[in-house]
């Protein structure tokens, strides 16, 4: 996926080729049994329907001239039967293919979601969430019908075309040649617009993605929008993006409309020529009026599959642009994953070592260079320093959210790049400044990382971090339903719930990244006892801008200039009167 923002079109990183469509066949093959049944039903329905013009010819040329009323009733009943049979079989087939289409949607969407769960942080760092979301929802919906009904209909319409041609030539060769004379014109127009049509629908895909990305961003930031009275400005931006989408859609639709326009006119022309040639140029003894009626009926039927095939072609062109995006996402490499032969990390004591670690988010721009330090099990380490120095980067690397540019990180002597991610992260607890709360009950949110926890254990964890009191103030207590991102809760309450969630997981290595930044001073003092319990016996890394909260840590590391500029206890660093001293003194004066 292109690395951009909401107002920049995505450029495909690899062009579409037939291999993408072959990949889509994997999903189709899973549904081959019901698709075969639907195909057979469609074949029978088509064969029954094609008998109608022959019945009409016989009635006009034989039954009516002979004034055989009984036979006319019989033929009429047979004609009605062909219609009823065709409708019933088409209905059954439609129901089968609706189910097949939904199964294909389910499979593709599940594969996409599974892959998105495995992609590294960097993938999400570089992309608007709306442009990811639209691929899982809108684009999958758009390709499902083409991958289910489209395949069957394509084969059926081709066979239908062959059957109709066979019936036509069996009735009259000369009039059949007139019917197919328009094909070269049609094929020429199709070849002329093919490339432009695909590009037009790629543009529609781009503009739709841009609009969706801005919509998602706007909804997420609606509070900020209203605080700064940006509603009118944002409406203007969205109107522009929606207008771009509308313009791209109308441009692409012109190509789609050209095809049925061409088919309809060609069908009208050849039908007219059948009557002119049949009635004026050919001998009435060779070509009866019944033959002309049958051939005019076959002319309409002959061009109908061509129109259907052209519509399928339009759908395919549209779907191609969506398949490109879907498979591009599925092809996004999982750069942070278990290496071949990765071993389970045994229960850890908590020794952590950085050995000559170098890392940068972008190639050639390092955040950390040649960083080395050791932490003993049970030690509490505070990471302080200016914004952007790399404090959060250090703890992200311990959790292996990113791959190192150079060096290695060891836990209890095990290189974390050689162990499974699950065994590594299951022994770590991470508390972030932006504590994410999922939709559901408070109880489920606390139990998120340890599904086998009992309700008593959940309550005990909440009490330890001073969350139990405010939880019980809700009418439904722990069963209180909270919305996405915890909109019913204050930021401080969300952080306390996250503390309880982390404590319940009982990690051996604990990471607190500005975890108390949204908690008021009174609650923080009450929480301190719970924090001491949380830190007890665990290796902990604490990032905090309020230095008063990290005074009691075993060691304080001042992160600056792509490494550790100073390291020591609070008293040791204050005695040095260096970077930490100046930062602490400045905060004390501000207080």
Task: Please spell the DSSP secondary structure of 108-128, one letter per residue.
Answer: HHHHHHHHHHHS-HHHHHTS-
| Beta carbons within 8 Å of 516's beta carbon, 6+ residues apart | 495, 524, 527, 531, 544, 546, 549
Kindly state whether residue 188 falls inside one of the protein's structural domains. yes
Q: Can you give the pLDDT at residue 185?
A: 84
What pLDDT sits at residue 527? 64
Is residue 276 included in any domain, yes or no?
yes
- Please say whether the beta carbons of 153 and 312 come within 8 A: yes
**Which element (helix H / strand E) includes 567?**
strand 563-568
Q: Give the CA distances from residue 269 to residues 43, 184, 272, 275, 294, in Å, rounded to whole numbers and listed in that order.
A: 29, 14, 5, 10, 17
**Residue 551 maps to a domain:** no
Instruction: Using CB atoms within 10 Å of the CB of residue 386, give its burial: 0 to 12 exposed, 13 to 18 middle, 19+ buried.
Output: middle
pLDDT score, position 394 = 93
430 domain-assigned:
no
Q: What is the pTM of this model?
A: 0.65
Helix (H, G, I), strand (E, B) or coil at 135: helix
Residues 6+ apart with CB under 8 A from 380: 535, 539, 540, 542, 552, 553, 554, 555
Domain containing 201 equals 18-330
Q: Which residues of 89-107 are buried (b: 16+ CB within 10 A; e: fewer)?
A: beeebeebbeebbebbbeb
Distance of alpha carbon 499 from alpha carbon 512, whole angstroms: 9
Given this model, what pLDDT does residue 1 score? 41
| CATH number reported for the structural domain that contains residue 55 in this entry | 1.20.1560.10
Number of domains in the chain: 1
Residue 12 pLDDT: 53
Strand locations in 346-446 (E): 352-359, 368-375, 380-384, 406-411, 414-415, 428-431, 440-441
Nearest one of 335, 317, 172, 178 to 259, comparing CA atoms: 317
Q: Is residue 415 in a domain?
A: no
Residue 501, C-beta contacts closer than 8 angstroms, at least 6 positions apart: 445, 446, 447, 448, 449, 461
Any domain includes 221: yes
**Tens-of-pLDDT digits for all 591 residues of the chain?**
444 566 666 665 445 556 667 777 888 888 888 888 888 887 788 778 777 777 777 787 788 888 888 888 888 888 888 888 888 888 888 888 888 888 888 888 889 889 988 888 888 877 777 778 878 877 787 777 777 767 777 777 787 788 788 877 877 788 888 888 888 888 888 778 877 877 888 788 788 888 888 887 787 777 778 777 788 888 898 999 999 999 999 998 888 788 778 878 888 888 888 877 777 766 666 677 777 777 777 777 788 788 788 777 777 776 776 787 788 888 888 888 899 999 999 999 999 999 999 999 887 789 999 999 999 999 999 999 888 888 989 999 998 989 999 999 999 999 999 999 989 988 888 877 667 788 888 998 899 878 888 999 999 888 888 888 889 998 889 998 887 666 678 777 888 888 888 888 888 898 888 766 656 666 666 666 667 767 778 899 998 877 877 888 899 999 998 999 999 999 999 999 999 999 888 877 765
Give domain status of residue 163, yes or no.
yes
User: What does each C-alpha distance from 273 to 177, 280, 476 come to in angstroms?
Assistant: 11, 10, 79
Determine, yes or no, domain membership for 386: no
The predicted structure's pLDDT at residue 3: 47
């Amino acid at each position: 996926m292109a690395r951009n923002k909401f107002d920049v079109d995505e450029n495909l990183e690899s062009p579409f080729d037939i291999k993408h469509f072959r990949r889509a066949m994997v999903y189709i093959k899973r549904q081959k049994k019901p698709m075969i049944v639907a195909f057979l039903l469609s074949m029978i329905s088509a064969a029954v329907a094609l008998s109608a013009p022959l019945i009409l010819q016989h009635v006009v040329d034989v039954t009516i001239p002979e004034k055989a009323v009984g036979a006319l009733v019989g033929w009429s009943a047979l004609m009605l039967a062909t219609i009823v049979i065709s409708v019933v079989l088409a209905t059954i087939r439609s129901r089968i293919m609706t189910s097949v289409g939904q199964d294909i949607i389910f499979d593709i969407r599940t594969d996409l979601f599974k892959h998105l769960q495995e992609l590294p942080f960097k993938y999400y760092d570089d992309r608007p969430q709306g442009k990811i979301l639209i691929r899982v929802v809108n684009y999958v919906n758009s390709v499902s019908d083409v991958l289910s009904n489209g395949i069957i209909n394509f084969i059926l319409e081709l066979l239908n075309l062959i059957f109709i041609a066979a019936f036509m030539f069996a009735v009259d060769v000369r009039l059949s040649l007139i019917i197919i004379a328009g094909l070269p014109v049609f094929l020429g127009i199709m070849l002329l617009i093919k490339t432009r049509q695909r590009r037009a629908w790629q543009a529609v895909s781009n503009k739709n993605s841009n609009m969706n990305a801005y919509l998602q961003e706007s909804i997420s930031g609606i509070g900020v929008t209203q605080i700064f009275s940006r509603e009118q400005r944002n409406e203007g931006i969205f109107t522009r993006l929606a207008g771009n989408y509308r313009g791209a859609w109308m441009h692409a639709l012109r190509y789609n409309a050209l095809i049925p326009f061409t088919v309809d006119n060609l069908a009208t022309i050849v039908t007219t020529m059948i009557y002119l040639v049949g009635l004026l140029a050919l001998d009435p003894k060779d070509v009866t009026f019944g033959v002309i009626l049958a051939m005019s009926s076959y002319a309409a039927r002959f061009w109908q599959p061509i129109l259907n095939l052209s519509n399928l072609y339009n759908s395919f062109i549209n779907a191609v642009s969506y398949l490109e995006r879907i498979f591009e996402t599925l092809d996004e490499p999982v750069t942070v994953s278990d290496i071949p032969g990765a071993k389970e990390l045994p229960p850890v004591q908590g020794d952590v070592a950085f050995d000559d670690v170098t890392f940068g988010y972008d190639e050639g721009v390092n955040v950390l260079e040649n960083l080395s330090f050791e932490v003993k099990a049970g030690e509490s380490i505070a990471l302080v320093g200016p914004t952007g120095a790399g404090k959060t980067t250090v703890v992200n690397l311990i959790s292996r959210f990113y791959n190192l540019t150079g060096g290695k990180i060891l836990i209890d002597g095990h290189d974390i790049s050689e162990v499974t991610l699950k065994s590594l992260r299951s022994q770590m607890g991470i508390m972030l400044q932006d504590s994410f709360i999922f939709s559901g009950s408070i109880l489920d949110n606390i139990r998120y990382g340890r599904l086998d926890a009992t309700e008593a254990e959940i309550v005990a964890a909440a009490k330890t971090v001073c969350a139990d009191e405010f939880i019980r103030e809700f009418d439904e207590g722990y069963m209180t339903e909270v919305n996405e991102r915890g909109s019913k809760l204050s930021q401080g309450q969300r952080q306390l719930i996250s503390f309880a969630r982390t404590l319940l997981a009982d990690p051996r290595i604990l990471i607190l990244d500005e975890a108390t930044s949204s908690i008021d001073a009174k609650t923080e003092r009450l929480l301190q006892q719970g924090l001491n319990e949380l830190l007890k016996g665990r290796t902990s890394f604490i990032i905090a801008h309020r230095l008063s909260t990290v005074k009691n840590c075993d060691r304080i590391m001042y992160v600056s200039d792509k490494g550790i500029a100073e390291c020591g206890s609070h008293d040791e660093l204050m005695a040095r009167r260096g970077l930490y001293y100046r930062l602490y003194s400045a905060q004390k004066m501000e207080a």
